[in-house]
Every structure is written in structure tokens, then in C-alpha cells.
A = this chain, B = another copy of it.
Amino acid sequence: MTVLAHTKVTRQDWLDAAMSTLIETGVEQVKVLTLATRMGVSRSSFYWYFKSRADLLDGLLAAWEAHNPAAMIAQAELPSQSICEAICNIHKCVVNPALFDIPLDFAVRDWARRDASVKARVTAADARTCAALAAMFTHHDYDPQEALIRARVLYYMQLGYDAAELNESWEERLANVSHYLLAFTGRPPRPEVVADFAAYARAHTGENS
């Protein structure tokens, strides 16, 4: 009995439905039956387009790679007259959802936390992105070491990427975050506060609580 009036679905339809489910509720909720009922179609139809659920998930990860990391790297490689313009190009990733899908990024990073193979692909993509950001700073005459620190701080802010994931030592972390704090209190920069932080950083680097 052909009660349902809808036409046939495509492989892309399954991918789209899976993608929005991934973003809204996480990988664990990307279930064949759920997607099928949501699309008003039988569950077994799925297996015509995909070898298995794992096959579908692999497609989602590939779509993420082709979207977010690629976009941020492209923004980093855009020609720019000043470091201000360059950073603003990166800044657009946070501001423009079409350019960079933040909820998707969160969903994928969360997925990576509980799947080692996904984790590896995300880490590799992060390395490529960070390298592109560092290159952006060096092109504007920052020395390589400072460029890398700035790239990482920028990355934290852009993605809300937790420093713990980088497996830094306590000292590295304090140095980096102090770096940020020095900047944070200044608009307009108040010399006495900057000096205050510099003294704090000198006094506390190496201590452990």
C-alpha cells in the first residue's frame, strides 16, 4: 500500500538529515531509524545508499573537513595589507555562520573526544589550521615563536578551544595565558596595569597552584 505521497530520497538527503541531527543532538543520536522516520521513508532504504552507519558517519566527517578547516585556512591565506586586516579576516569566521559552522565544529570535536580515529583527523586538521595562522603572523613580521603563540591564542578565542587539549605544561600555559592577560586589560592600554601583570607573570611562572 502506497500511502506515502513523497518522492524518492537521495544520498544527499540522508547526509543532510544526518548532519543536522549531528549538530543538534550529537553523533550518538544519528540513528538510521530516527533519520528514516524524520524523512518519512523506510529504514531499509538507507542501506541502498550506505554500506553501514559507519559509512554515513565517515561522510559527515569528510563534509566537516571540507568546510570548516578549509574555510579558516583560506581566510588565513587571504592577502592582507596589515596584521589588523589579516586578523579581521579570521574574525569573520566567528561572525559569519556561512563561512564557518561553529555548532558543527563543536559537535565534531565532541565526537572526537570519544572516537580515537575521529580525534586523529581533527588533530591533523587543527595542525594545518594553526600552521596557516602562524604563517599569517610571520608574513606581517612577527618572529616565528611569537607568531605561533599568537596563532594559538587566536585559535582559543575563535573556536573556544580548551587549552587542556594541547597538553601544555603548567609553565607553558601560564606563559600563554599571561600573554593574553597582558593584552586583555588594555583598552585603552593602561601602563600601570600592564606593568602589574608583567610583575605577576614573572613572580608566578614556575609555581604550581
A interface with B by C-beta (< 8 Å): 24-26, 28-29, 82-85, 87-88, 91-92, 94-96, 98, 102-103, 106, 110, 113-114, 153-154, 156-157, 159-164, 170, 173-174, 177, 179-189, 193-194, 196-197, 200, 204, 209
Q: Which 9 A-B pairs have the closest CB atoms?
A: A160-B160, A189-B189, A84-B196, A28-B28, A183-B183, A160-B162, A25-B114, A182-B187, A110-B110
Q: Which of these, B88, B113, B156, B182, contacts A200 with CB under 8 Å?
A: B88
Contact A185 B88 (CB under 8 A): no
How many angstroms between the C-alpha atoms of A157 and B203 in the bound complex?
Answer: 22
Task: Name the B residues within 8 Å of A26 (CB-CB).
Answer: 26, 28, 110, 113-114
Give 8 A-B contacts (CB < 8 Å), ordered by A residue.
Answer: A26-B113, A83-B193, A95-B177, A96-B209, A160-B160, A182-B187, A183-B185, A187-B194
Contact A157 B185 (CB under 8 A): no
Contact B102 A193 (CB under 8 A): no
A105, closest chain B residue (CB): B162
Contact A163 B114 (CB under 8 A): no
How many angstroms between the C-alpha atoms of A94 and B153 in the bound complex?
Answer: 14
A82, closest chain B residue (CB): B196
Contact B185 A91 (CB under 8 A): no
How many angstroms between the C-alpha atoms of A82 and B187 in the bound complex?
Answer: 16
Contact B183 A194 (CB under 8 A): no
Contact B180 A157 (CB under 8 A): yes
How many angstroms between the C-alpha atoms of A194 and B106 in the bound complex?
Answer: 31
Contact B197 A84 (CB under 8 A): yes
Task: Name the B residues within 8 Å of A95 (CB-CB).
Answer: 170, 173-174, 177
